[in-house]
Amino acid sequence: MNSRIAHVAFNTFREAVRDRVLYNLIAFALLLSGAAILVGQISINIERLVVVNLGLTAVTLFGVVIAIFIGIGLVSKEIEKRTLYTILSRPVRRWEFVVGKFFGLTGTLVVNTFFMAIGVFLALLYVAHRFERADLGILTALYFIVLQFLIVCSLALLFSSFSSPMLAAVFSFALFVIGSLSEDLRGFAGVVKGIGGWIATAVAYLVPNFSALNVINQVAHGEAVATRLIVYNTLYALLYSAMAISGAVLIFQRRNLK
Amino acid sequence: MTASRRVSAVAAAVFVMALPGIVGLLHAIDHLRRDAAYQDILYIRSPQALKRMSLGYTGLFADLYWTRAVQYFGYQHHQHSKDFSLLAPLLHIATQLDPKLLPAYQFGNNFLAPRPPNGAGQPEEAIALAQYGIRNNPDSWQLYYGLGFIYYTEMKDYSKAAEAFASGGRVPGAHPFLRILAARMAQHAGEFETARMLWTTTYQTSQDQTIQLNAVDHLRALRVDEDVTQLEKLVSIYREHVGRTPGNMTDLARAGLIGSSPVDPTGQPYKITSDGRVEVHDPDSILYITKGTPPNYQPPQPKADKQK
């Protein structure tokens, strides 16, 4: 990675840590430990399932909220504080700034996910008393969650490059919801005929497919995830986020910052 | 004290005093609306709608609905209610959201099938749930066992029970008892030995302490039912030979019909009533017995913790 991008990325990470973003880990730890202790008393035989389902769902939702609310402010905050002009007056190109911000935010989320993953495995050890081979599937689910973060971060950056933080948050969250239902959307598109069908199909393929990146239920039941799905999802997430970041760069390059 | 410190002191005092006040008020509100937390309301009955609302996180929603079903059953049971109208819909939603949620089938059937006070008395719903579970988890022999169990214990449909046990016996890794049970259904369905086999299998194959305790209770009850049946036969034989009802077990022993005075699973001796019936010393101490109780005897509610 180009050193200027690395500097922007590192500073973005440092700023996120300084903004106490990682404090969410405390809430996560409380949630998971509470669930692990309580579930055995209020339900029957689903201790492991709850830890995996609740743990991984919380990792996703905490991460998505962080990605959206930090992602939308990455550009606007720099403009508001006028620090962007200082950065761009140095030999930092606009595209390097955008790409650096993207890597900084995804790096923050990867670190956050790493600590949350430790929490999930500790809670699992508490309720099940030992690890099983099937628990390795949780790592695949966590990897897919990180891939979701790549897409969400890139979308938040894309929207923040041309709209206000509030609108960017609304757009990003709406796309996350629609993308989580993308398989249903493609199903609906399949039954609509004519021009409506074409439009619905186009929309269904344009929105990010978060459904395929959600294998939480599958791994909770100890089912294996196909290697081919891992490869396809990796390529899909990389391509989608590259596309969104390219869009953000294109808009930011032309943006009048005066 | 400076103005700023005064403000801080007042704020701290309000904060500290408000907290117990809030707790006290909530306690009073809870007292006022005692049953609010367990309202018999199921706002969304469509699993499809819930699937969409869950944004794909169906596993977590299924866990929540299963927990809700457990809590609902436990609460209604604890209240000695005979209304379990929401139990089947809650189980339906939980299993539709996560068709692989095996505990919901295994325990759900135990909640649904038995007649009150031990369950909801909805064996048809339990059969539908078990069949849905088998369709989605054909490799789980426990679900076939559960289905056969309902046919055997609640429906007394021994041919369907045999069919379910036989199907389960063909699943790779199935407990070998399933084939034996399937075979026994044809000729010995109503016998104590068959029922004992079923409950012993339940005890041996379950990892869950609640189910194991329940099986132990049923095995104890079976022993009592069998003892009482046998002892009442001996009382009839005594009456035929001696011409009067035996006064106690010693009379039967003196007549050479029994060796020593038999005792029930709690260690108490059985007693013979004046009309020749055999009763246990304390029927409340042995759950699920169908024999050996006084006339018009009402069994106690099984302990809530045993049913969760």
How sure is the predictor about B89, in pLDDT bands with cuts at 50, 70 and 90? very high
- The alpha carbon torsion through A53, A58, A60, A66 (nearest 10 deg) reads 180
Q: Are the C-beta atoms of residues A127 and A220 closer than 8 Å to each other?
A: no
Number of structural domains found in chain B: 2
pLDDT, position B3: 78
Residues of B in contact with A180 (CB under 8 A): 55-56
Cα separation values, A46 from A42, A49, A80, B211, Å: 10, 5, 49, 15
Residue B231 structural domain: 223-307
Last residue of a domain, one of B134, B161, B183: B183
| Number of neighbours of residue A127 by Cβ within 10 angstroms | 18
pLDDT, position B187: 64
- Give the minimum alpha-carbon distance from A102 to chain B in angstroms, rounded to a whole number: 25
d(CA B5, CA A20) in angstroms, rounded, equals 28
Instruction: Compute the Cα dihedral for B23, B26, B32, B34 and give only its sign.
Output: negative
Residues in A 146-185 with any Cβ partner in B closer than 8 A? 177, 180-181, 184
The pair of three-digit structure tokens given for residue A186, joined into one six-digit string: 């493609």
Which of B255, B299, B295, B289 is CA-nearest to residue B274?
B295
| Closest chain A residue to B306, measured at CA | A44
What average pLDDT does the structure give for chain A?
87
Number of structural domains found in chain A: 1
- Give me the mean pLDDT over the B54-61 stretch: 88
Percent of chain A with pLDDT over 90: 39
Say whether pLDDT at A151 is over 80.
Answer: yes
pLDDT, position A47: 86
pLDDT by residue (tens digit) across A176-231?
999 998 888 888 887 888 888 888 888 888 899 998 899 999 999 988 899 999 99
Say whether pLDDT at B307 is over 50.
Answer: no
- Give me the mean pLDDT over the B117-134 stretch: 93
At residue B247, what is the residue type?
G
Question: Smallest Cβ distance to B107: which of A45, A50, A220?
Answer: A45
- Do B288 and B179 lie in one domain? The reply is no
- Give me the mean pLDDT over the B70-80 stretch: 86
pLDDT, position B116: 80
Say whether pLDDT at B59 is over 60.
Answer: yes
Which of B217, B235, B184, B231 is CA-nearest to residue B300?
B217
pLDDT, position B45: 77
A51 and chain B: CB distance < 8 Å anywhere? no
pLDDT, position B76: 86
Residues of A in contact with B56 (CB under 8 A): 180-181, 210-211, 214
- Do B110 and B178 lie in one domain? The reply is yes
pLDDT, position B283: 87
pLDDT, position A39: 78
Peptide bond before residue B47 is cis, with ω within 30 degrees of 0: no
- Give me the mean pLDDT over the B35-54 stretch: 72
Residue B279: strand pairing partners? B271
Residue B278: strand pairing partners? B272
- Do B85 and B169 lie in one domain? The reply is yes
CA B166 to the chain's CA centroid: 24
Q: What is the CATH number of the domain that holds B90?
A: 1.25.40.10
pLDDT by residue (tens digit) across A106-137?
999 999 999 999 999 999 898 888 888 888 99
Pick from A31-35, A97-101, B231-235: least confident: A31-35
Say whether pLDDT at B308 is over 60.
Answer: no
Is B203 part of any domain? no
pTM for the full predicted model: 0.76
- Give the minimum alpha-carbon distance from B60 to chain A in angstroms, rounded to a whole number: 5
A32 and chain B: CB distance < 8 Å anywhere? no
- The alpha carbon torsion through B139, B142, B148, B152 (nearest 10 deg) reads 180
Residue A38 structural domain: 3-254
The DSSP element (H or E) to which A209 belongs, if any, is none
pLDDT, position A216: 93
Residues of B in contact with A46 (CB under 8 A): 63, 66-67, 101, 103
Token pair 């609902």 is at which residue? B72
Q: A251-254 long-range contacts, Cβ below 8 Å, gap at least 24?
A: A251/A158, A251/A161, A251/A162, A252/A75, A252/A94, A252/A95, A252/A97, A252/A98, A252/A161, A253/A94, A253/A95
Pairwise CB contact (< 8 Å): B55 & A181 = yes
d(CA B131, CA B147) in angstroms, rounded, equals 7
Is B172 part of any domain? yes
| Closest chain B residue to A223, measured at CA | B100
Is B230 part of any domain? yes
Pick from A56-65, B33-42, B60-69: least confident: B33-42
Pick from A103-107, B39-43, B248-252: least confident: B39-43
pLDDT, position B306: 40
Residues in A 208-237 with any Cβ partner in B closer than 8 A? 210-211, 214, 216-217, 220-221
- Do B296 and B228 lie in one domain? The reply is yes
Mutate which: A43, A47, A173, A177, vs B, most B CBs within 10 A: A43
Pairwise pLDDT comparison (B276 vs B180), residue with the higher score: B276
Say whether pLDDT at A31 is over 60.
Answer: yes
Residues in B 102-161 with any Cβ partner in A closer than 8 A? 102-103, 106-107
- Give the minimum alpha-carbon distance from B71 to chain A in angstroms, rounded to a whole number: 7
Pick from A178-187, A219-228, B129-138, B222-231: least confident: A178-187
- Do B170 and B227 lie in one domain? The reply is no
Say whether pLDDT at B12 is over 90.
Answer: no
What average pLDDT does the structure give for chain B?
85
Last residue of a domain, one of B183, B212, B245: B183
Is B272 part of any domain? yes
pLDDT by residue (tens digit) across B247-294?
888 888 888 888 888 899 988 999 899 888 999 988 888 888 888 888
- Give the minimum alpha-carbon distance from B62 to chain A in angstroms, rounded to a whole number: 10
Residues 6+ apart with CB under 8 A from A200: A185, A188, A189, A192
Cα separation values, A130 from A45, A48, A122, Å: 16, 11, 10
- Do B247 and B170 lie in one domain? The reply is no
Last residue of a domain, one of B151, B183, B215: B183
At residue B289, what is the residue type?
I
